[in-house]
Structure 1
Amino acid sequence: MKKNVLIIGAGGVAQVVAHKCAQNNDVLGDLHIASRTVSKCEAIIASVHEKGAMKVAGRFEPHAVDATDTAAVAALIRGTGAEIVINVGSAFVNMPVLEACLETGAAYMDTAIHEDPAKICETPPWYGNYEWKRRERCAEAGVTAILGVGFDPGVVNAYARLAADEYLDEVRSIDIVDINAGSHGRWFSTNFDPEINFREFTGTVYSWQNGDWQSNRMFEVGQEFDLPVVGKQQAYMTGHDEVHSLAANYPQADVRFWMGFSDHYINVFTVLKNLGLLSEKPVRTAEGLEVVPLKVVKAVLPDPSSLAPDYTGKTCIGDIVKGTKDGQPAEVFIYNVADHAEAYAEVGSQGISYTAGVPPVAAAILVAEGTWDVRKMANVEELDPKPFLALLNRMGLPTRIKDAAGDRALEF
């Protein structure tokens, strides 16, 4: 049994994590949030108290920390007595924070794969470049490390495991579809950190098909999906974290990730890319200043957390899993629909942040209770999905299924 949570990061997803931890602090214990800028942490804690989110009276304290400094993070873990660390900072800090957890014995979880700021789109499987290299150390130290436990990656991994366990005898393909049918009213913006968002789309699109890694360019392969609530939506095959672990755990299946994009997004992205403004390589201006184009673009775009008050519409994210059942072809679509305005009313964040922020808190509860305190490194599909999805049903991300028997809510 573990208690006391340290949240790393103070963006839109961290705000959701903070509210959901507060709503469950009777289980999770003392709460702490840390970022480079302590005022951001203080603002999040203030929003928690404004909403009356604390389930029981307890501690929720802000801290300043450089999350790239393993020693500083380890000292903070020890100083707060945190036994669970929820890392929702930049993907660049994953390994320093994980190292601090290995040093202190705290359980670790994140919502995205680690990235090296100097590299884009490394060799697949991506988890093999950093995270999986620390598997043995986690097991030897008895440290629970749950990788990619946001929504995608995260919940969609659990959906794949549920389909394989409960609905199909053989899995032949897993297609993860992420559609945001909402509108934020800005001329252009990304829904989370622009730097991470654009890095995702400037590299090779890797998918696992026919038992091997396949390569495509961004926006090269598109398909229209007709989904519940959001209807017909155009999506494009995109490189994404969960493909790289699902391919290892379901090597017999084709694994692809599809994300919806508007023509406007594609046009803006294409212009920025063709002008070199999405490059992570420094350039020198006529005045002699050295700048990174991608960081300049990030600086001039709206802060994703600022989108929340005006966001309307819904998201639909899920897995289309095909295979066989009792010798016959079978297909299931396991999914969630989230509402931007409802997310803002509850926690002050938009729906993209909500879908990413609720799952790690559910995972933290399962670690605190011992259900997922596995004392080793694991991707989500390697864990029992039922207690996780049952908690999400209660916490605001209900699961539905559409198959030959119809479209219905799933209870666990």
Structure 2
Amino acid sequence: MRILLVGAGGVGSAFTAIAARRHFFELIVVADRDEARSVKAVAALQDSRFTAAAVDASGAAAVSALCREHSITHVMNAVDPRFVMPIFEGALDAGADYLDMAMSLSQRHPTEPHARVGVKLGDEQFALSPQWESAGQLALVGMGVEPGLSDVFARYASDHLFSHIDELGTRDGANLAVHDEDGNEIFAPSFSIWTTIEECLNPPVIWERSRTTGVGPEGGWYTTPPFSEAEVFDFPEGIGEVECVNVEHEEVLLMPRWVDAERVTFKYGLGEEFIGVLRTLHTLGLDSTEKVKVGGVEVSPRDVVAACLPDPATIGPRMTGKTCAGLWVTGTGKDGAPRSTYLYHVVDNEWSMREYGHQCVVWQTAINPVVALELIAAGTWSGTGVRGPEAFDAQPFLDLLTAYGSPWGIREHPILR
């Protein structure tokens, strides 16, 4: 396996640190628009299987050319979703398989954005699935932590725990805090603010079987206003109660395609301060990606916001706490009795910094595509076309995740009568 990793930021660098401990690949080319970042990521590994390169991921031709130059078999996309389609199309053109952790961007419904879907997350990619199938290539989409691990949990729950699923509810939360040099807590998102703004301010998507119009999941998706349907969820391993709200996310677009359920949701524990900041950015127009002219220079307001905040890759030494990604499944168990189960994965920032030198959120995101690539290299996961993680057997993935030294957990919830 010869891998092109596009993106040497926080998640990309964590990906290389995790992959360096495994032996399933021959080469990883670490490529970034800023070649200095690629060089830095590779130099930290001192491993001859890694090499650095530069690439402009906004053009499919550049991605394809780099693939051909290095005889790449698999492209790993670790940049923000603006670049999904050129990387996706570049891999297809070069004859390489493809993985990403975020799917092609959505577009709001032109007249009813808080009720009806427009262009959904991943629609552009699924539209090209026949080309991937005819080429005999696999595009594994949404294979990070969220989306990604929760989708694996959905398949596991369907296969091993439940005979009927009422709801697949992804629930993510954390008790993370970032401090300045004087010990004061500061506002510093632990993940790409560009991506966070995109998913949190877009209308959240929900899927319900009762709304479907025919065979398959089509017609079952609808939208709500941002931050809707707030609930308090008690996260495990000392994180505790966090208020979660609806957020647009790929799980809701992926799970109904492969897993039977009555309803699919995604809720994120953002916290009151974070929601307030996002609402203010939206009110001021600072969430916009449309360029404005400032002093003769054209710049996107959202890019300015991202440039003003700390790089998520650098905040690890000043961050404390744990992050949890998981899936709350309700329905009927294999024994015929009502069941409510939370499948989860928790990472402690102190542990990930000590063991890998990367903060817990980017590390937790990066480990899942590494596990998936190892399963693909072994032939355990295989196929063609555009597929989500739910399309594959979950047990080998969860076994290998545990073998990597990062076990997952199950917690049963009381049944409310």
TM-score of the superposition, structure 2-length normalised? Answer: 0.89
What corresponds to 2:214 in structure 1? Answer: none
Percent identical:
30
Which of 264, 286, 311 is 1:277 aligned to? Answer: 286
Residue matched to 1:123: 118
- Give yes or no for the alignment of 1:101 onto 2:91: yes
Q: 1:119 to 1:215 in 2, by over 3 A?
A: closer
Asked whether the 8 Å contact 1:181–1:315 carries over to 2, the reply is: yes
CA–CA distance in 1 between the matches of 2:350 and 2:108?
37
* 2:207 counterpart SS class: strand
Given that 1:15 and 1:347 are in contact with CA atoms closer than 8 Å, whether structure 2 keeps it comes out as no
The CA deviation string for residues 167-224 of structure 1, in whole angstroms up to 9 with x for no partner, is 1101110110001211122521222221121111122111113433332222232100
SS of the aligned residue for 2:20 comes to helix
Indicate the residue corresponding to 2:201 in structure 1.
Answer: 202
Question: Residue deviations 1:37-73, cap 9 Å, x none?
Answer: 1110111112223xxxx5xxx4211001111222221
Contact 2:151 2:390 in 1 (8 A): yes
Structure 1 unaligned regions, length at least 5: 406-412
The 1:119/1:304 distance shift into structure 2, 3 A limit, reads: farther
- Which amino acid letter does the alignment assign opposite residue 375 of structure 2? L
- C-alpha separation in 1, matches of 2:354 and 2:311: 19
Question: For 1:191-340, what aligned pairs fall within 5 Å after superposition?
Answer: 191-209=190-208, 210-211=210-211, 212-229=220-237, 230-250=239-259, 252-285=261-294, 287-325=295-333, 326-340=335-349
Output the amino acid matched with 1:9: G
Distance 1:117 1:67 in 2: 21
What does the per-residue CA deviation read over 1:317-351, in whole Å, with 9 as the maximum and x for residues that have no partner?
11110111243211211111111121122222211
1:68 aligns with 2:66: no
Tell me, yes or no, if the aligned pair for 2:105 and 2:122 is still in contact at 8 Å. Answer: no
C-alpha offsets along residues 269-304 of structure 1, whole Å, 9 cap, x if unaligned? 22222122112233344x454332212111111111
Report the alpha carbon displacement of residue 256 of structure 1 after superposing the two structures with TM: 0.7
Asked whether the equivalents of residues 101 and 143 of structure 1 are also in contact (C-alpha less than 8 Å), the reply is no
How far apart are the structure 1 equivalents of 2:413 and 2:304? Answer: 49
Q: In the alignment, residue 48 of structure 1 is paired with which amino acid?
A: L
2:106–2:121 Cα contact (<8 Å) kept: no
Deviates more, 1:155-164 or 1:390-399: 390-399
Structure 1 position 124, deviation (Å): 5.4
Aligned to 1:189: 188
Q: 1:231 to 1:147 in 2, by over 3 A?
A: same
Displacement of 1:118: 11
Give the conservation status (yes or no) of the 8 Å contact 1:92–1:117: no
Q: Secondary structure at the match of 1:27?
A: coil
Distance in structure 2 (CA, Å) of the matches to 1:204 and 1:401: 30
Q: Secondary structure at the match of 1:318?
A: strand
Matches within 5 A, 1:375-386: 375-386=384-395
CA 1:342 to 1:117, structure 2 compared with 1: closer, same or farther past 3 Å? farther
Per-residue CA deviations over 1:61-112 (Å, capped at 9, x if unaligned) read: 1001111222221121122122121111221222212222212221110001
SS at 1:5's partner residue?
A: strand
The answer to whether the Cα contact below 8 Å between 2:106 and 2:118 also exists between their aligned partners in 1 is no
184-193 vs 88-97, greater mean Cα deviation: 184-193
Q: Measure how far apart 1:28 and its partner are.
A: 0.9
The aligned counterpart of 2:102 is 112
Question: 2:174 aligned with 1:180, yes or no?
Answer: yes
Whole-angstrom CA distance in 1 between matches of 2:81 and 2:186: 26
For residues 2-31 of structure 1, the C-alpha deviation after alignment (integer angstroms, 9 at most, x for no partner) is x1221110110001111122111x221122
CA distance in 2, matches of 1:69, 1:119: 27
- 1:159 positional shift: 0.2
SS of equivalent residue, structure 2 residue 44: helix
Could you say which residue in structure 1 is the equivalent of 2:217?
A: none
1:30 aligned partner: 27
Unaligned runs of 5+ in 2: 180-184, 212-219
Note if contact 1:224-1:233 (Cα within 8 Å) is conserved in structure 2.
yes
Whether the 8 Å CA contact 1:208–1:255 is kept in 2: the answer is yes
The amino acid across from 2:306 in the alignment is K
8 A contact 1:170–1:324 mirrored in 2: yes
**Is the Cα–Cα contact under 8 Å of residues 168 and 261 in structure 2 kept in the other structure?**
no
Moved more, 288-297 or 197-206: 288-297
Deviation, structure 1 residue 117: 10
1:314 CA drift (Å): 0.5
